[in-house]
Amino acid sequence: MNILALDSSQEILSLALLAEDKSYSLEIDAHGRHSELIMEAADIICRLAGIKPEEINMAACMKGPGSFTGLRIAYSSAKGLAMALGIPLRAYPTLDCIALSLASYPGLVIPALDAKQGRFFCAFYRNNKLLSDYFDLGADSISELIIKERSKEEENIILTGSGAELLLTKLFDSRNNSLYPQSLFVDFLPGRGRARELLKMAKNDTINKGTDINSGPMYIRKSDAEINR
């Protein structure tokens, strides 16, 4: 089984490939050029693995939430491969993939993406289990949810994802900032690409037979154009 995972949900464009039980990964600081680079990067990682693109058996991508443009790039690329090659498409929630890298963290894990306008896409996890909905919230609301979700007052909290550092600043500025003097941390390299986690989810998923080829990303929030209309 050859599985190609594509992640363009954050600033770092990342790809991961499972080929003949060996894993390969590639990360590019794309500077907003995700759409220009993603298929070229897919060709490069296939060559590194010694396979042809037509030998890919499954394509995986982030389902959302995240950047409207970023999500569409990887989703449309994975969908195009699936349709062209007649292979399954699998799409997984972005926040689940981001949280997976901290599955063994002994505390509360909060992946966060900057949703602009002072808000964040986030969710709450413990022991790699989703505890909440997928949210689009400001720092004050996130702070209130942390109070509710902590299993005990001294439980450590770690933020990860490309919005983690900004959220940390906002939380310390929020009205509940006295809650986390010693217990709030940010993951090392929080904004790195998560194609490797995406690949792991696709590889270990024995239930999901495939995502509807006619489906699209899960945005949570309406676009500015829709709101203005």
**Per-residue confidence band for 227, with pLDDT thresholds at 50, 70 and 90:** very low
Would you say how long the chain is, in residues? 229
In whole angstroms, give the CA distance from residue 215 to residue 188.
34
Q: Are residue 107 and residue 175 in the same domain, yes or no?
A: yes
Q: Are residue 55 and residue 85 in the same domain, yes or no?
A: yes
Q: Are residue 84 and residue 148 in the same domain, yes or no?
A: no
Write out the residue range of the structural domain in which residue 23 sits: 3-93+194-228
If one counts the domains in the chain, the total is 2
DSSP string for residues in 42-104: HHHHHHHHT--GGG--EEEEEEESS-HHHHHHHHHHHHHHHHHHT--EEEEEHHHHHHHTTTT
In the predicted model, what is the mean pLDDT of the chain?
91
Q: Are residue 89 and residue 109 in the same domain, yes or no?
A: no
In whole angstroms, give the CA distance from residue 163 to residue 159.
9
Residue-wise pLDDT tens digits, 185-208: 999 989 899 999 999 999 999 888
- Cis bond upstream, residue 217 (ω within 30): no
Backbone φ and ψ of 158, nearest 5°: -125, 135
Residue-wise pLDDT tens digits, 127-147: 999 999 999 999 999 999 998
Q: Are residue 204 and residue 171 in the same domain, yes or no?
A: no
Cβ atoms within 10 A of the Cβ of 226, count? 9
Q: Are residue 73 and residue 182 in the same domain, yes or no?
A: no
Q: CATH number for the domain including 109?
A: 3.30.420.200
Q: Are residue 164 and residue 198 in the same domain, yes or no?
A: no
Q: CATH number for the domain including 42?
A: 3.30.420.40
Residue-wise pLDDT tens digits, 30-57: 888 999 999 999 999 999 999 999 999 9
